[in-house]
Amino acid sequence: MSIELGNMNIKASATMSYHALPLFQDEANRVDLRHVDVCSVDPPGCTDIDDALHCMPLKNGNYEVGVHIADVSHFIRPGTAIDKEAANRGTTVYLIDKRIDMVPDLLSSNLCSLRGGETRFAFSCIWEITPKAEIVNTKFHKSIIRSRAALTYAEAQLKIDDVTQQDAVSISLRGLNMLAKQLKQRRLDDGALLLASPEIRFHIDSETHDPIDVQSKQLLETNSMVEEFMLLANVSVAEQILHEFPECALLRRHPEPPPSNFLPLIKAARLQGFELDVSSNKRLQESLNSAVKPATPYFNTMLRIMATRCMMQAVYFCTGTVSRELYQHYGLAAPIYTHFTSPIRRYADIIVHRLLAVVTGQDSTYKELLDKRRTQNTCNHINYRHRMAQYSQRASVGLHTHLFFRERVREEEGYVLQVKQNAVSVLVPKYGLESTILLPGSERQNATVQFVYDEQVPCQSAAGVTLRTFDKVIVQLSVESRNIQQQKLVMKLVKPEIPGFTVEPLEAPPEPLPEPTAAPEPAKPSSKASKRQRADAARPTKKKTK
């Protein structure tokens, strides 16, 4: 058996030699799956493809479903310089206009990336699943695959919807989608949360690199399809490595929020006539599902956004350092969970791959892998790096938001998300943006009208107009720039009209909001977020890179 190197050139070979990277080699313990109709589904422009899927019917009426993950641990060996650098970085950082890789581009976009039509090494999780999405058995093995197609979410959705397409990949995708819907419903029945967070997508000018459009992200069925199987793979791997390494497995937990975190959410919902039961994740999900206002379709989405902000941060941990009752993932309603599906961009996944390879007998262990103190220190570091990456991503979004509105003034519909003593926070769904309108009494406002704050509601009142949480408003968005270092997004109230405070409307009325069809999924990041951070992402969101 021979493994082709694709477009490997002299420079790439030199880079591999410099980093002491192993070449593709025949391995007796790898399963050859190049005959299987595997495909990947990712955002447009994605080059670091770390997961692919397949689904095919079996003679007994069940399905074989496979999740194939880039075998990064084959190339990044423990203790090497490239391993130490990846461990230090901890995660790939996705900014609006660029990607800061955790591993060299030769790996992230070439040798490890499961590109269409090219032979690649993978770590495969394969299930036998009944038509009712019940797991019959699970197998793990290192494999060799050749993806039939690298699809975008939209392209995969078209293949599913267009019944005239009867090629092997389209049929596979329809099987995956059918099973994913049942897996998702079962998770929800178990108490998994469907939360929401405002996320935006920028269109960047290819020459100036300035944003030319900004809009809220829209999710398709295929987003959910991929996420369901990434979640299933992560749970399956977590069970396997915990069974074999009860004291040194690397898992991911999402603590249950303390009751005090939910008080603002409960109060806001009660004022709208809804009682939320937050005694468990299942009760919370049921309460959110019933909190619907037919006349205000966006109300439920806003409630889920507020619920997201009540959550704790999910973190990596070593099993030998935390008591068993703390292993649970609250948002996913999973007793145990880990990250296996994104080793190109998360160092935690590389460690999990190494543990699983030892379990399957396809790699040997080493001292540091079984050292729970060392593993916990690594977890602490990558938790920190993950938070820093999130802050960087938010800053990048803020910068490009300022660039977009720098020479524009837009007037849009929004909703009051929070009422404070000297300000109201407003969410603009069209752009997925949240900003603050400062009220008189703040140092930055000189309005003559007097607002009265009622902390019990809470609400702000002036000139016979009252602003409460969930109220619909019309706002103007622009950038105020005293100098380049002090640019900030400014939101001004247009309606409801408050004499002496609101601004005159623009000539063109704001475009009406599209009615939401469903609440966004819980957790690939800016990024596959997640494919991720809603409750937690199975894989982080990828951004288009140049």
**Do residues 143 and 123 touch, judged by C-beta distance below 8 A?**
yes
- 392: its two tokens: 């960087």
pLDDT in tens, 258-279: 999 999 999 999 989 999 999 9
- Mean pLDDT in residue range 154-166: 96
pLDDT at 154: 96
- Mean pLDDT in residue range 4-26: 52
Model confidence at 181: pLDDT above 50:
yes
Model confidence at 147: pLDDT above 60:
yes
Q: Which residues pair with 490 in a beta bridge?
A: 478
pLDDT in tens, 327-384: 999 999 999 999 999 999 999 999 999 999 999 998 888 989 999 999 999 999 999 9
9 membership: H or E segment, kind and range: none
pLDDT in tens, 374-398: 999 999 999 999 999 999 998 998 8
Model confidence at 90: pLDDT above 80:
yes
pLDDT in tens, 432-460: 888 999 998 644 445 578 899 998 888 99
CB atoms near residue 60 (< 10 Å): 9
- Mean pLDDT in residue range 300-307: 93
**Dihedral angle at the C-alpha atoms of 441, 445, 446, 449, nearest 10 degrees?**
-60
- Mean pLDDT in residue range 391-414: 88
pLDDT at 195: 85
pLDDT at 198: 74
> What is the C-alpha to C-alpha distance for residues 223 and 7, in angstroms, rounded to an integer?
30
pLDDT at 537: 41
Sorted by where each starts, the structural domains of the chain and their CATH numbers stand as 10-228+360-399 (no CATH), 258-309 (no CATH), 406-495 (2.40.50.140)
Across all residues in the chain, what is the average pLDDT? 87
pLDDT at 58: 97
pLDDT at 12: 56
Tell me if the bond preceding 496 is cis, omega within 30° of 0: yes
pLDDT level of residue 464 (50, 70, 90 thresholds): very high
pLDDT at 295: 87
**Do residues 316 and 307 touch, judged by C-beta distance below 8 A?**
no
> What is the C-alpha to C-alpha distance for residues 202 and 212, in angstroms, rounded to an integer?
7
pLDDT in tens, 61-85: 999 999 999 999 999 999 999 999 9
